Amino acid sequence: MTTLPPVRELMRAFNERDSTYDGVFYTAVKTTGIFCRPVCPARKPKPENVEFFATGREAMFAGYRPCLRCKPLTAGHEPPELVAKLLEAIKTEPGARLRDGDLRDMGIDPSTARRQFQKQFGMTFQAYHRALRMGGALKQVRDGATVIDSQLEAGFESGSGFRDAFARLFGASPKGEGRKECLLARWLDTPLGAMLALANDDGLYVLDFVDRRGLERELSRLARRFAIVPGPHDILDRTEREMREYFGRTRSRFTLPLAERGTDFQRGVWEQLVRIAPGATRSYAELAGIIGAPRSVRAVARANGDNFRAIVIPCHRVIGSDGSLTGYGGGLARKQWLLDHEKAVAAATRRTAPVKMLG
């Protein structure tokens, strides 16, 4: 995972418009909801209103939109015609989802769009659009807001666009959450990036990285039953505390109550995941054998992918039969980091364990 220089150095480079840091980090301004390149000529904000990101993608998932002046995602250059056309379409309907069929209706080949966005922004068009949607809708969760109706802070240029994005993710308009049973939401900052936690009195429903593939789909599914709103809850407090202890190397197992969800088969797989010791791994085939379904390796892999309670239910501890890293929604770089982290903690624990005397 990318590690940024110390904040003091980042502030120096930003204030001095140090071009050697262009592309190394991005500066986001809380009061405007935009993010910039270090060389942006705009007036410098107060330090307390600034935060830094290693990639533009991270800034977008945090709810910031690219600066129109310094164009952080294009290094100041105008994008190609096809990319510009898609950016304008997103601007017109920020909460909408443009699938491959929609692109073809616009006379755009989806594979061409993917290639050009990858070259221009370092991510595909769908990834770019998802970051914009998720970031805009999650901005208020991140800020801990209790009323989801702030247009500017969400990074949308129209209030209707923000409400639409929120409704698509969370199943209710910003002022209509009272119609359903609620899931309380909280944004958690971790060394591996931001995570979203959802819980109510039933337990923890979701804990996953905000840029995790499939999270948007899972939120939409939950939104058919719940309204998802920012708010306090004891389980969220415990989740935040235990995650902080986990990354601080003082906790390797969790005591959080988990909401009952999933099929019997999925729950059987998840129960076995929790039994894998920190610092250890199992293969998908081994898990299938343990649950008495040796021919269900693919089904076990799907259950892993449907977990959405990352780290707490440690699906990252499952690897290929040949020892290779495979299939992690949060990305293989995170999976490797988590495994290395847990092995180091386990090794340190063994070194400091008291020696039993014989006799």
The catalytic residue positions are: 36, 315
What's the length of the chain? 359
Find where tokens 């994008």 sit: 79
Distance, in Å, from the CA atom of 51 to the CA atom of 28, rounded to the nearest integer, reads 5
Alpha helices in 200-309 (DSSP H): 215-223, 234-247, 264-274, 284-290, 297-305
Distance, in Å, from the CA atom of 44 to the CA atom of 55, rounded to the nearest integer, reads 20
Query: How are strands ordered across the β-sheet holding 226-230?
Result: 203-209, 195-200, 181-188, 226-230
DSSP symbol at 227: E
Burial of 6 (0-12, 13-18, 19+ CB in 10 A): exposed
For residue 224, report the phi and psi dihedrals to the nearest 5 degrees.
-70, -20
* Direct distance between the N- and C-terminal alpha carbons of the chain, in angstroms, rounded to an integer: 49
Burial of 101 (0-12, 13-18, 19+ CB in 10 A): exposed
Helix (H, G, I), strand (E, B) or coil at 331: coil
Tokens found for residue 53: 């990101």
The answer to whether 196 touches 206, Cβ cutoff 8 Å, is: yes
- In 3D space, the residue among 170, 271, 249 whose CA is nearest the CA of residue 215 turns out to be 170
Tell me the DSSP string of 67-134. Answer: -TTT-TTTTTPPPPHHHHHHHHHHHHSTT----HHHHHHTT--HHHHHHHHHHHHSS-HHHHHHHHHH
CA atoms within 13 A on the CB side of 268: 13
Q: Which residues contact 102 (CB under 8 A, 6 or more apart)?
A: none
